[in-house]
Amino acid sequence: MLRPLLILRSRFPTHDLVIAGSRVAEYVSHLSFSEHDLHRVHFLDFVPPADLAALYNLADACLLPSFYEDFGLNILEAMPSGCPIVLSSTGACLETAGDATLFAHPTSPPDFAAKLGRLLADDSLRTTLREKGIPRAHTFSRKRTAALTLNGLCEGVRRNQNRQGDTRPHDP
């Protein structure tokens, strides 16, 4: 997250970077960033889930450079708040986000910087991603997931019963 910011700093000198997460500041302090590099970078510790929406609402964009996501819960935290995302083009991120985000290669800070710069400079693009992100996030509601899971389990039981010749009716 820091390297794309450093690449873009001269184009967007008034933008701050806010990084949330337990012990992130401690981790970053062990990396090779100078005090100047960390100017306008703010480290928050753990942010309670109830406060995440407010944080995303205040952001112009969300950067999620991940090497691996098994589902991408943080994507579904940002999208309902209308926060446009620049996301890694790996793992489940592609499927979870669909066409509601910009994608960048996770090992390429210049690619992330290019996508973030495009997003920050283009109001129309930010609006489009906001408009796509909110309904996209709602397709992954807990209620819908539970219903799909229940239906899948019931279908699996029915198939198993048919293979075994059990024709007794079973309620889901």
> What domain range includes position 14?
2-140
Strands of 22-147, DSSP E: 41-44, 62-64, 85-88, 102-104
Residues 68, 91 contacting (CB under 8 angstroms): yes
Residues 166 and 115 in one domain: no
Give the pTM.
0.78
Residues 109, 4 contacting (CB under 8 angstroms): yes
- Closest residue by Cα to residue 57 from 85, 87, 86, 78: 78
List pLDDT tens digits, range 64-90: 888 876 677 888 889 989 999 999 998
What phi, psi does 39 have (nearest 5°)?
-65, 135
List pLDDT tens digits, range 87-119: 999 888 888 888 999 999 999 999 999 999 999
Residues 60 and 103 in one domain: yes
As for how many domains the chain has, the answer is 2
Residues 158 and 96 in one domain: no
